């Protein structure tokens, strides 16, 4: 049984809403609202949900790129929000992120070699003389050619730029990588190459991934377990085979009903959700999904359903389950 690498407990991230001449706080956008989960070494945990549901904010708060409002994040047993600046800096190389848009995350004035080697130099991981060798090793592992280190980001295609982004994370020898919609901006044929590259690197180095995407097919392919988020909260989390075969939460059922089946003879009943996703600044009372749920009962608007294990590590937050 693999060790737990990351433990997230009741994590909250609220953004204040300011108004008026004096910019007083008049409310909060509850982007991440009481999220708890664990991630094992070498595991990929997929996060799905509509855009604005808090997936990316969860990933960035876990990496302490954003301050938390409440809760705890333990990485290798240490609460990262209790680390000093120096301690955080020493742990940074182990926790990396791959962004959705590789172009805007790459400095256009730096060569690929400088971009990938920058953090190596900054963290003093290797001596200056060894930087080039480490960079070359990383770009070759990511399917790029040695001469690419002298090129600039604008000379590459979207897929190649994403490979540069992966090499930049890989060169630091990380343990945990937040993949924040890493293939959403790419063509479908390129998407599979990048997903396969991430899988190969995981097999080779035992990385743990938090893989964020709104594409359920991609998430199913790469993940071991999958969590479904709605309006800042996890509503279901389970082994991927269990979740796709036996979804329990009405929101997960609706999301899965929209995934195309690659067999024209098979038909699936599509569940169309009524209404728009409510504002995270003013979420509905009780179960946040009750304004769109076809099965809602009186209790649903009054009590928040607990996110609990209903057997075999299948977590769900619904009064009817």
Nearer to ligand SF4, 210 or 293 (CB): 293
CB-nearer residue toward ligand SF4: 139 or 287:
287
Q: How many CB atoms lie within 10 A of CB 127?
A: 9
- Pick the binder of ligand SF4 from 48, 106, 186, 293 (CB under 6 A): 293
Annotate 284-321 with b (16+ C-beta within 10 A) or e (fewer): bebbbbbbbbeebeeebeeeebebeeeeeebbbbbbee
**Cβ proximity to ligand SF4, 175 vs 292, nearer residue:** 292
**Taking CB under 6 A as the rule, does residue 298 contact ligand SF4?**
no
CB of 275 to ligand SF4, least distance (A): 13
Closest listed residue to residue 244, CA positions, set 35, 59, 53, 48? 48
Identity of the residue, 175 or 314, whose beta carbon is nearer to ligand SF4 in the bound complex: 314
Nearer residue to ligand SF4 within complex by CB, 34 or 76: 34
For ligand SF4, which stretch binds (CB under 6 A), given 17-25, 186-194, 259-267, 297-305? 297-305
By beta-carbon proximity to ligand SF4, the closer residue of 144 and 316 is 316
- From the list 202-210, 221-229, 236-244, 312-320, the region that binds ligand SF4 by CB under 6 A is 312-320
* CA end-to-end distance (rounded Å), the chain: 29
3-state secondary structure of 184: coil
Nearest Cα neighbor of 288 from 230, 248, 236, 228 is 230
Figure out which of the listed residues 12, 148, 175, 319 binds ligand SF4, where binding follows CB under 6 A. 319
Span 248-287, contacts to ligand SF4 by CB under 6 A: 249-250, 287
Among 59, 64, 67, 61, residue whose Cα is nearest residue 16: 67
* Choice between 31 and 300, CB closer to ligand SF4: 300
Within 144-276, residue ranges assigned H as helices are 158-170, 188-205, 216-222, 240-245, 250-257
CB of 51 to ligand SF4, least distance (A): 20
User: What's the min distance (Å) between Cβ of 12 and ligand SF4?
Assistant: 20
Site for ligand SF4 contains 234 (CB under 6 A)? no
Q: Which residues of 178-192 are buried (b: 16+ CB within 10 A; e: fewer)?
A: bbbbbbebbeeebbe
Residue 42 phi/psi, 5° resolution? 75, 10
Residue 97 host element (H or E):
strand 95-98
Q: Name the helix (H) or strand (E) containing 86.
A: helix 85-91
- Least CB distance to ligand SF4 at residue 308 (A): 12
Q: Which of 201, 305, 314, 315 binds ligand SF4 (CB under 6 A)?
A: 305
Total interface residues for ligand SF4 by CB under 6 A: 14
* By the rule CB under 6 A, 195 interacts with ligand SF4: no
**CB nearer to ligand SF4: pick between 205 and 295:** 295
Question: Min. distance of Cβ 187 from ligand SF4 in angstroms?
Answer: 36
DSSP state of 69: S
Q: Is 220 left (phi over 0), alpha (psi -120 to 50) or beta?
A: alpha
Give the one residue of 289, 307, 314, 315 binding ligand SF4; rule: CB under 6 A. Answer: 289
Which residue, 157 or 279, has its beta carbon nearer to ligand SF4?
279
Q: Which residues of this chain interact with ligand SF4, rule CB under 6 A?
A: 249-250, 287, 289-290, 293, 295-297, 300, 305, 318-320
């Amino acid at each position: 049984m693999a060790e737990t690498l990351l433990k997230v407990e009741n994590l909250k991230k609220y953004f204040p809403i300011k108004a008026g001449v004096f910019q007083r706080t008049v409310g909060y956008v509850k982007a991440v609202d009481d999220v708890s989960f664990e991630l094992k070494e070498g595991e990929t945990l997929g996060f799905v949900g509509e855009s604005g549901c808090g997936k990316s904010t969860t990933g960035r708060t876990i990496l302490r790129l954003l301050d938390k409002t409440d809760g705890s994040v333990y990485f290798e047993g240490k609460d990262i929000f209790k680390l000093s600046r120096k301690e955080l800096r020493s742990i940074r190389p182990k926790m990396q992120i791959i962004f959705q848009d590789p172009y805007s995350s790459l400095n256009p004035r730096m060569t690929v070699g400088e971009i990938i080697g920058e953090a190596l130099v900054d963290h003093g991981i290797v001596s200056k003389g060894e930087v080039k060798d480490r960079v070359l090793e990383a770009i070759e592992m990511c399917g790029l050619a040695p001469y690419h280190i002298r090129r600039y980001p604008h000379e590459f295609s979207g897929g190649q730029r994403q490979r540069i982004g992966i090499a930049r994370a890989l060169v630091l020898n990380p343990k945990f990588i937040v993949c924040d919609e890493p293939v959403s901006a790419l063509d479908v044929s390129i998407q599979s190459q990048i997903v396969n590259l991430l899988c190969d690197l995981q097999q080779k180095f035992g990385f743990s991934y938090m893989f964020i995407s709104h594409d359920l097919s991609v998430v199913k392919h790469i993940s071991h377990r999958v969590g479904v988020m709605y309006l800042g909260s996890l509503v279901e989390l389970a082994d991927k085979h269990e979740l796709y075969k036996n979804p329990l939460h009405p929101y997960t059922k609706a999301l899965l009903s929209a995934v195309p089946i690659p067999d024209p003879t098979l038909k699936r009943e599509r569940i169309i959700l009524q209404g728009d996703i409510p504002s995270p600044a003013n979420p509905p009372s009780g179960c946040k999904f009750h304004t769109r749920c076809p099965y809602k009962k009186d209790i649903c608007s009054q009590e928040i359903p607990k996110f609990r294990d209903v057997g075999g590590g299948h977590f769900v937050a619904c009064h009817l389950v």
